[in-house]
Structure 1
Amino acid sequence: MIISYLQDDGDAERVTTDDLSALEAAAIEEALGGTPWRAIEDRLRAQDPTAMRAVIWAARRRSQPDLAFSTFDLPQWRRRLSARIERFEIDEVLTNIMAEALAKNEDSAIDAMIPHLRRLAHDKADVDAALDDLGKGHLVPGRQDSAP
């Protein structure tokens, strides 16, 4: 998951949860009242501002070790803060849905998830690429076969 915060100068500060250390993840869990990491990931997908703030806070503590979560703030978070999924997360979702769809011999579950994945994707082209990799490129809007 990539957490982005748009700075005053227009540059985006981006932190991927994949680059967090185990200690940083534990500090985020503790800052969020002992919330387990799996629940934090769910909160990030739901665009929870406190969870997103905690990830940015953990990354900034690398250069500011004394930075306290209780006073750490991200002004104008509604317009500047977002969480987006990465390609490997899209692959995981589609692989899980694919297994269920194959068991039922239908594409409807995958097709229903595509708009949601596009909204959450950091790079929307990753959704099409993941569908192609699964042999489901025909589900890409405007495309008839699985060829890229």
Structure 2
Amino acid sequence: MIVTYEQPDGTVEQVSTEDLSAIESADIEEAMGDTPWRQVEDLLRGQDPTAMRAVLWAARRREQPGLAFRDFDVPGWRRRLRARIERAEIDEVLANLMAEALGSGEDSAIDAMLPHLRKLAHDEADVNAAVEVVGKGHLVKATASEG
């Protein structure tokens, strides 16, 4: 996941959860009341402000080691803060969908998930590229011709 915060001056701060250390991830879990990492990821996908704030906080502590979570705020979070999935997560979702689609011989599960993946993706082109890689590029082309 990539958590993005647009500063009041217009600069953008981005933190990828892939770049967090194990200690930083554990600190996030602890700051969120011992929430397991898998649940933190689910909360990020749901745009939970506490989870997004916790990721930014962990990254900011690299520069400000004494920064306490309870004191860290993100003004204007509703319009300035968001979490988006990265290519590796898109690949994982498509791999799971491919297994289901191959079992049923249908593309409908993948086709139904594409709008959701595009909305959550940090870079929408990653969704199309991942679909092409798994051999379902015809679904991307069908969507493009409809729009």
Please confirm whether the aligned pair reaches a TM-score higher than 0.5, indicating the same fold: yes
TM-score in terms of structure 1 length: 0.95
1:73-92 matches, within 5 Å, as 73-92=73-92
Do structure 1's residue 29 and structure 2's residue 29 form an aligned pair?
A: yes
Name the counterpart of 1:146.
none
Q: Give the CA deviation at 1:89.
A: 0.6
Do structure 1's residue 13 and structure 2's residue 10 form an aligned pair?
A: no
State the aligned residue count: 143
TM-score in terms of structure 2 length: 0.96
| SS at structure 2 position matched to 1:92 | helix
Could you tell me which runs of 5 or more consecutive residues in structure 2 were left unpaired when the two chains were aligned: none
The Cα offsets for residues 105-146 of structure 1, whole Å up to 9 and x where unpaired, read as 000000000000000000000000000001101111136xxx
Could you tell me which runs of 5 or more consecutive residues in structure 1 were left unpaired when the two chains were aligned: 144-148
- Compare the two structures and name the one with the higher helix fraction: 2
- 1: distance between equivalents of 2:59 and 2:129? 30
The Cα offsets for residues 37-58 of structure 1, whole Å up to 9 and x where unpaired, read as 0000000000000000000000
1:115-130 matches, within 5 Å, as 115-130=115-130
Aligned identity (percent) is 70
**Runs of 4 or more consecutive aligned structure 1 residues displaced over 2 Å after TM superposition:** none
The Cα offsets for residues 68-94 of structure 1, whole Å up to 9 and x where unpaired, read as 001110000000000000011100000
